[in-house]
Amino acid sequence: MKIATWNINGVKARLDTTLAWLREATPDVACLQEIKSVDEGFPREAFEELGYHVETHGQKGFNGVAILSRTPVSEVLRGLPGDDSDEQARYIEARIEPPNETRDGDARPLRVGCLYLPNGNPLGTEKFPYKLAWMQRLIAHARARLADEERFLLLGDYNVIPQPIDARNPQNWVDDALFQPESRSAFRALLGLGFTEAVRSVNTDKDVYTFWDYQAGAWQKNNGIRIDHVLMSPEATDGFEGAGIDVHVRGWEKPSDHVPVWVRLAA
């Protein structure tokens, strides 16, 4: 079972690119961020034609998250619990049913939480405290989910550079919200609940990135950062078979500035 996450940076601007990647990569579940579309404006028919069930939590012009699944979904949660006044569409969660051929066996459902964590810039504005407060809400929600002892993935654009190795030029990010000690500490606290970070569990190399800015030739110079992550609960980690990053997608025509990250679990 292949599960992927990708910040597509606008579903309408990147529809052809997204569909091309889905045909190439054939994920069973795809979690998308920054769809930048209200729910009723999301081009769901294009994804349904590829065999996906579609669930969205959208917002006009900004943010927005979606879950695509080849098998039925249930228990859809739109919005991160903990602040009823938060109107930003940054979190969607669903229970994914196992494939038909495995349902009579020992296969269990998989719960996925798709997130677009606040950027937090510029520092010195209300955006950074909002980012940190959102992370604390995420930690509280994740702790509750882990107590259920389910197969659970928490994946998406975290807007956090966890370690210096996760940036080509870490010194350029010391004044950025993505690399602040508070952001990195909250990410470590999330991991400390019992999650395994998929990519780093199989790849500890340098120059492993998921984002390259559109400016200053960042892609051509490989001046990237790693901010898109897949966290696995212990129950999901038991069936972990591998992880990867589809770096080549960044070189396609009209690319997102992010690339897909994926994991493979035993069904």
pLDDT one digit per residue (tens) for the chain, 267 residues: 999 999 999 999 999 999 999 999 999 999 999 999 999 999 999 999 999 999 999 999 999 999 999 999 999 999 999 999 999 999 999 999 988 755 555 678 999 999 999 999 999 999 999 999 999 999 999 999 999 999 999 999 999 999 999 999 999 999 999 999 999 999 999 999 999 999 999 999 999 999 999 999 999 999 999 999 999 999 999 999 999 999 999 999 999 999 999 999 998
pLDDT of residue 99: 81
pLDDT of residue 120: 98
Residues placed in the known binding site: 7, 34, 157, 159, 257-258
Cβ–Cβ under 8 Å, residues 65 and 114: yes
pLDDT of residue 193: 98
Our count of domains for the chain comes to 1
| Full residue range of the structural domain in which residue 203 is found | 2-265
pLDDT of residue 141: 98
User: Which residues, including other chains, have CB under 8 Å from residue 77's CB and lie 6 or more apart?
Assistant: 91, 92, 93, 94
Is 116 a catalytic site residue? Answer: yes
pLDDT of residue 180: 98
pLDDT of residue 103: 52
Residue among 52, 91, 116, 158 flagged as catalytic: 116
pLDDT of residue 79: 98
Query: What are the C-alpha distances in Å from 207 to residues 195, 204, 243?
Result: 23, 10, 16
Beta strands in 19-72 (DSSP E): 29-33, 53-57, 65-69
11: domain CATH number is: 3.60.10.10
Residue among 53, 57, 229, 258 flagged as catalytic: 258
3-state secondary structure of 129: helix
Residue among 157, 166, 176, 228 flagged as catalytic: 157
What does the alpha-carbon distance between residue 102 and residue 96 come to, in Å, rounded to a whole number? 13
pLDDT of residue 185: 98
By DSSP bridging, strand 29-33 and strand 110-116 are unpaired
Residues placed in the known binding site for Mg(2+): 7, 34, 157, 159, 257-258
